[in-house]
Amino acid sequence: MSIEQTIREMAVQAKKAAHAVAILSTEQKNRVLGRMADALDAQKSYIQAENARDLVAGEAKGLAPAMLDRLQLSDKVMAAMIGGLRQVIALPDPVGEISDMGRRPSGITVGRMRIPLGVIGMIYESRPNVTVDAAALCLKAGNAILLRGGSEAIHSNLALAQVLQEALKAEKIDPAAIQVIPTTEREAITCLLQLEEQIDLIIPRGGEGLIRFVSENSRIPVLKHYKGVCHLFVDASARFDMALAIILNGKVQRPGVCNALETLLVHKDIAAAFLPLLAAELLAAGVEIRGCEQTCALVPAAKAATPADWPMEFLDLILAVKVVDDLDAAMAHIREYGSQHTEVIVTENYSHGQRFIREVDASAVMINASTRFADGGEFGLGAEIGISTTKLHAYGPMGLKELTTRKFIVYGDGQIRS
Amino acid sequence: MSIEQTIREMAVQAKKAAHAVAILSTEQKNRVLGRMADALDAQKSYIQAENARDLVAGEAKGLAPAMLDRLQLSDKVMAAMIGGLRQVIALPDPVGEISDMGRRPSGITVGRMRIPLGVIGMIYESRPNVTVDAAALCLKAGNAILLRGGSEAIHSNLALAQVLQEALKAEKIDPAAIQVIPTTEREAITCLLQLEEQIDLIIPRGGEGLIRFVSENSRIPVLKHYKGVCHLFVDASARFDMALAIILNGKVQRPGVCNALETLLVHKDIAAAFLPLLAAELLAAGVEIRGCEQTCALVPAAKAATPADWPMEFLDLILAVKVVDDLDAAMAHIREYGSQHTEVIVTENYSHGQRFIREVDASAVMINASTRFADGGEFGLGAEIGISTTKLHAYGPMGLKELTTRKFIVYGDGQIRS
């Protein structure tokens, strides 16, 4: 079979399985998830042996140590995967929820019932634990899933899928509900993205290049997230101690993630008092400051920012800093350079806070809190399958509910339309 | 300017206008909608004169009388458009609605705020009244809109847009919030569909060919609806009088629309008693029956159905009829041939009704009611911008809420993440 035929056949099988998975009871889904957790534990040495093959190949290929680290299914990562499965079991099942039910003037009763999306295609890089996390969330939401991980993790991903599929079979559930694409050819992705008859949603997770490729080649709806260029605006009325703590947390606590703080905007009225205090703390934490002209004048250690710094996701201990005239100037800067991920204002001014919350277009908008809270777990979604920075279907962290949709249901008593 | 440059410039202006429209108050939006209604009334003779140019050109081109009828902005159609605007004024404004607000363990308060989508691209055929209906709904939901109507309606659409834009200007709102693309070249659509940086959503309305073209060429998310192959299953326990009334209503009341009934499935235990009764009523109403073998044996007037009849949207006084073994066979037929529009069971059996509601995958699933109720107005959405038969973002009739999305909002008090 050609790659195209292989992928198509997998998708056809996934669609068939999706119908069966959609009508499983919550108890059935939780039971198989529990069995998966047990099986991952029982088969840890097999999985780690397959993972070792990927690690050896990765080393031979000269992968960077950070990449090898992300690839490794250590005991700790295995335990986290298994713990994640148990957390998914504990989450409420979104399927079957009925809402907005009411009688219409015609006499029919109309409402909405939450249902699974169907088949989800997940395209991701590196970390093999995504295989288990994503499969568990999709299954709990009643969906089938086709997984296409990075080529460097192929043995790990196939081993994990095998263990998950055995658990499905043991519960008499069609194993095609969770499938890992067994080829590392790039062509497999292109084929997958054409199957709009079989696949309902594509979720890419990885670098900007992968996400652009998926987005430009897909006929299937894509929930995507390019990057997180998160801003924080320190208003004239901000409490300095609060602003300092929130900025440090946003920049330093975990600089390599998408909800880290990248650009600071400071109201001109407090710049002279605030920036030297901040600079001392940032420099002590090893943060490089790239400032506008006014910032550099106030902070001798700052480097001059270039135009390339404003739209940049540094993912590193670097912070761009700009002095702005007022709230409107701050919001205009965010409109121009923001990535619709997370934007924060630190203020004691009620009206400014309300305007910022209402007017800033981002998937998460905050007053007086760290950008680092932009996360499915912190927002109460339970677990997160990704973050969407496009507005259709879901905007922001996506949990189980975002893996479902709602249909209309109608209870009549013989009504006809006149 | 090339067509590509023209379209891009319009989209850039629309995006700018979208920001302004997004933060208008409900009162401001209602005021401009009222002004538009008044202006359409005041400028009726200008609009009808431009419409006459389209009608003359259409006649010269040999458009069918039904097409010319749909193209005409008669006094009645004008009055309906103006009435539609007043109805949109009366609808509640979805923007700003806050929900799911609650305190998290970290101390932050997290909720969701409903916000506009941004810029919507509407691609439609024939009826120029869609220009006004769609513009009003998009504006009320805080969006800017780019409209691309059929080439045969170009003068009508441009005249309508001019009147609407004058109303925007009179209220000091950027007229780029409502724009009709002034060229009839097909290339304009292709260009529009590439502008993912400016346009958030594409809604095509028209024939299957147009919708496939849009879907296959768009980089922007598309909410689409190919066709309505609606089924009704008469269960063994159905009350015959109720089933007859619902079937007649579904097939005869307005056969040319997407929520008309196209295929009837009849439980084998009642086929011999029910089908002759039904056939008499259908034949009296001028309906052609295309039946399976068993149906033809029971109804001498029926023609033999061919395989092409089962997936067919007749949009005419034709009904495909098949005798099935049981509920499962009926649901399997719907799974194979349904278009995820509207599916109905007529039954007095509680368990069968509940299984049908839960298990059938369609945007509207009904018990004991006519398919013809599948409509935004009948479902209580107020007005409908279209029907989605794909599951992302919206499934089924789409009203004002479906022209919005939700962002996360966070109220903190200095919280940082540990």
Distance between CA atoms of B202 and B196, rounded to whole angstroms?
10
* Tokens standing for residue A358: 């209402």
**CA distances (Å), origin A307, targets A238, A292, A296, B194:** 27, 10, 15, 27
Nearest chain A Cα distance for residue B355, angstroms: 10
**CA distances (Å), origin A225, targets A366, A385, B202, B268, B308:** 19, 12, 19, 52, 42
Is residue B403 within 8 Å of B121, Cβ to Cβ? no
Distance between CA atoms of A368 and A353, rounded to whole angstroms?
9
CB contact under 8 A, A392 and B19: no
* Tokens standing for residue A75: 């005991």
Q: What is the pLDDT of residue A225?
A: 86
Residue type, A225: H
Q: Any CB–CB contact under 8 A between B219 and chain A?
A: yes
**CA distances (Å), origin B158, targets B155, B182, B207:** 5, 7, 22
User: Could you report the per-residue pLDDT of B199-221, keeping only the tens digit for each?
Assistant: 999 999 988 899 999 988 998 99
Nearest by Cα to B258 from B386, B147, B148, B68: B386
The residue ranges of DSSP E strands in B248-363, in sequence order, are 261-267, 288-291, 303-304, 318-324, 342-346
Q: What is the pLDDT of residue B66?
A: 86
Which residues of B are less than 8 Å from A335 in CB distance?
Answer: 19
Q: Any CB–CB contact under 8 A between A406 and chain B?
A: yes
Does residue A389 surpass a pLDDT of 80? Answer: yes
Nearest by Cα to B349 from B195, B234, B230, B188: B234
Distance between CA atoms of A235 and B127, rounded to whole angstroms?
51
CB contact under 8 A, A239 and B414: yes
CB contact under 8 A, A409 and B365: yes
User: Could you report the per-residue pLDDT of B36-48, keeping only the tens digit for each?
Assistant: 999 999 999 999 9
**In this structure, what are the phi and psi dihedrals at residue B217, rounded to the nearest 5 degrees?**
-110, 0
Please tell me what DSSP assigns to residue A222.
Answer: B
Average pLDDT over residues A125-129: 86
Mutate to test the interface with B, among A16, A246, A408 (most CBs of B within 10 A): A408
Q: What is the pLDDT of residue B351?
A: 98
Q: What is the pLDDT of residue B382?
A: 86
CB contact under 8 A, A368 and B201: no
CB contact under 8 A, A106 and B378: yes
Nearest chain A Cα distance for residue B127, angstroms: 24
User: Could you report the per-residue pLDDT of B229-239, keeping only the tens digit for each?
Assistant: 999 999 999 99
Q: For each of the domains in chain A, give its residue range(s) and CATH number, in order of start.
A: 3-224+407-411 (3.40.605.10), 230-373 (3.40.309.10)
Average pLDDT over residues B357-370: 97
* Tokens standing for residue A71: 């690839």
Share of chain B above pLDDT 70, in %: 100
Count of helix runs (H) and strand runs (E) in chain B: 14, 16
Q: What is the pLDDT of residue A226?
A: 83
What's the predicted TM-score (pTM) here? Answer: 0.94
User: Could you report the per-residue pLDDT of B293-333, keeping only the tens digit for each?
Assistant: 999 999 999 999 999 999 999 999 999 999 999 999 999 99
Q: How far apart are the first and last CA of chain B?
A: 55
- The neighbour count for residue A305, using CB atoms within 10 Å, is 21
Is residue B407 within 8 Å of A365, Cβ to Cβ? yes
Q: What is the pLDDT of residue B1?
A: 82
Mutate to test the interface with B, among A225, A226, A411, A416 (most CBs of B within 10 A): A416
Q: What is the pLDDT of residue B368?
A: 98
Of B242, B361, B411, the CB nearest to A414: B242
Q: What is the pLDDT of residue B225?
A: 86
| Partners of B266 in the β-ladder | B234, B323
User: Could you report the per-residue pLDDT of A233-285, keeping only the tens digit for each?
Assistant: 999 999 999 999 999 999 999 999 999 999 999 999 999 999 999 999 999 99
Confidence of residue A304 (pLDDT cuts 50, 70, 90): very high
* CA dihedral sign of residues A50, A52, A57, A62: positive
Q: Any CB–CB contact under 8 A between B117 and chain A?
A: yes
Does residue B224 surpass a pLDDT of 90? Answer: no
Does residue A207 surpass a pLDDT of 90? Answer: no
Q: What is the pLDDT of residue B226?
A: 83
User: Could you report the per-residue pLDDT of B94-128, keeping only the tens digit for each?
Assistant: 999 999 999 999 999 999 999 999 999 999 987 89
CB contact under 8 A, A365 and B410: yes
Angle at A112 between CA A109 and CA A115, to 5 degrees: 140
Three-state DSSP at B124 gives strand
Q: What is the pLDDT of residue A116?
A: 98
Which residues of B are less than 8 Å from A409 in CB distance?
Answer: 357, 364-366
CB pairs under 8 A between A and B: 213
CA nearest to B375 within chain A: A408
Q: What is the pLDDT of residue A125?
A: 87
Q: What is the pLDDT of residue B270?
A: 98
* CA dihedral sign of residues B102, B105, B107, B110: negative
Q: What is the pLDDT of residue B379?
A: 96
Which residues 311-370 on chain B approach chain A with CB closer than 8 angstroms? 335, 357-359, 361-370
Nearest by Cα to B144 from B31, B223, B29, B26: B29
Q: Are strands B144-148 and B178-180 parallel, antiparallel or unpaired?
A: parallel
Residue type, A85: L
Of A200, A380, A410, the CB nearest to B391: A200
Q: What is the pLDDT of residue B24?
A: 97
Nearest by Cα to A206 from A258, A263, A133, A262: A258
Q: What is the pLDDT of residue A184?
A: 87
Q: How far apart are the first and last CA of chain A?
A: 55
Is residue B396 within 8 Å of A228, Cβ to Cβ? no
Three-state DSSP at B146 gives strand
